[in-house]
């Protein structure tokens, strides 16, 4: 197929998969059970942070997370006491890791909120936004084993899970999938969450040449997607992921 045909194909697939039906088997289904902005943010961040492995297992862990948080995750976080038992595990993400996230999130909300932690100035590089958030989280805990759950673009990590979380928060909810809660980060800056499925599909279609799934590859993919859909490059995540995960493209 020609480049034009390829680009039109990707836009068509993006429109096909960005649909409420997509939610049912996706980790985003868990924050969709929340109603209030802060609750969605907190549950969304933790769900994105544990989003690796089998998708059914991720959603099952998300349901356990909601059981721990109760009706108001925000109230749970803000009133959390350090001696509160946290019985949770998802692969290498333990109850102690969740406790550290809760303590850090409480500190972040006391200083302006999760949205503000990603934002310093309008024209800031997208990788630096993620770096600012990472620093804000790490200011509240020093355990090295927890740090691995918060990727660092300055260390050339693809930051798949944080880019997915930002897609959820920033992109419009007009299609009923993402939330569109944050307006301080331009949607045209959003990167594709680069994982096995998106990377393999992107390479098959010739819009990613690098073999590693790292930040440099994420930037390369972003440049191509910005040409195809300059106003909303991250919507192509639906096409690349859907083709790879559901169609074995």
Q: Say yes or no to pLDDT of 145 above 90.
A: no
Q: How many Å apart are CA 130 and CA 136, to the nearest integer?
A: 10
pLDDT of residue 141: 77
12-15, long-range: CB < 8 A, 24+ apart: 12/239, 13/238, 13/239, 13/242, 13/243, 14/229, 14/235, 14/236, 14/237, 14/238, 14/239
The burial of 122, by beta-carbon neighbours within 10 Å (0-12 exposed, 13-18 middle, 19 or more buried), is given as exposed
Q: Say yes or no to pLDDT of 188 above 90.
A: yes
Tens of pLDDT, residue by residue over 4-58, are 999 999 999 999 999 999 999 999 999 999 999 999 999 999 999 999 888 999 9
Region 120-138: mean pLDDT is 88
Contact call for residues 197 and 13 (beta carbons, < 8 A): no
Q: Say yes or no to pLDDT of 166 above 80.
A: yes
Q: How many Å apart are CA 205 and CA 25, to the nearest integer?
A: 25
Q: Which of 223, 152, 156, 227 is nearest to 191 (CA)?
A: 223
Q: Which residues of 123-142 are buried (b: 16+ CB within 10 A; e: fewer)?
A: eeebbebbbbbbebbbebbe
pLDDT of residue 119: 83
Q: Say yes or no to pLDDT of 59 above 80.
A: yes
pLDDT of residue 174: 96
Of 14 and 145, the structure prediction assigns the larger pLDDT to 14
Domain containing 104: what range? Answer: 3-247
The model carries a pTM of 0.95
Q: Give the three-state DSSP class for 191.
A: coil
The 8-class DSSP code of residue 1 comes to -
Q: Work out the percent of the chain whose per-residue pLDDT is above 90.
A: 88
Of 148 and 72, the structure prediction assigns the larger pLDDT to 72
Number of domains the chain contains: 1
pLDDT of residue 53: 85
Distances (CA, A) of 68 to 14, 98, 200: 34, 11, 36
């Amino acid at each position: 197929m020609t480049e034009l045909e390829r680009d039109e194909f990707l836009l068509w697939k993006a429109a096909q998969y960005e649909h409420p039906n997509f939610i049912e088997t996706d980790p985003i289904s868990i924050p969709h059970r929340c109603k209030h902005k802060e609750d969605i943010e907190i549950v969304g961040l933790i769900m994105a942070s544990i989003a690796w492995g089998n998708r059914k297992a991720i959603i099952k862990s998300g349901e356990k997370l909601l059981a721990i948080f109760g009706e108001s995750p925000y109230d749970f976080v803000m009133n959390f006491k350090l001696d509160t038992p946290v019985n949770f595990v998802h692969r290498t993400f333990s109850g102690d890791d969740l406790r550290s996230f809760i303590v850090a999130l409480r500190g972040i909300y006391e200083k302006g909120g999760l949205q503000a932690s990603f934002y310093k100035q309008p024209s800031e590089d997208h990788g630096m936004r993620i770096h600012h958030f990472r620093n804000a989280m790490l200011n509240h805990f020093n355990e090295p084993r927890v740090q691995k759950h918060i990727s660092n673009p300055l260390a050339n990590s693809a930051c798949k899970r944080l880019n997915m979380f930002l897609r959820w928060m920033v992109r419009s909810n007009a299609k009923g999938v993402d939330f569109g809660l944050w307006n301080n980060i331009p949607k045209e800056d959003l990167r594709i969450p680069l994982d096995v499925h998106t990377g393999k599909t992107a390479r098959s279609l010739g819009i990613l040449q690098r073999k590693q799934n790292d930040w440099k590859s994420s930037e390369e993919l972003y440049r191509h997607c910005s040409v195809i859909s300059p106003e909303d490059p991250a919507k192509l995540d639906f096409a690349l992921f859907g083709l790879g995960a559901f169609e074995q493209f």
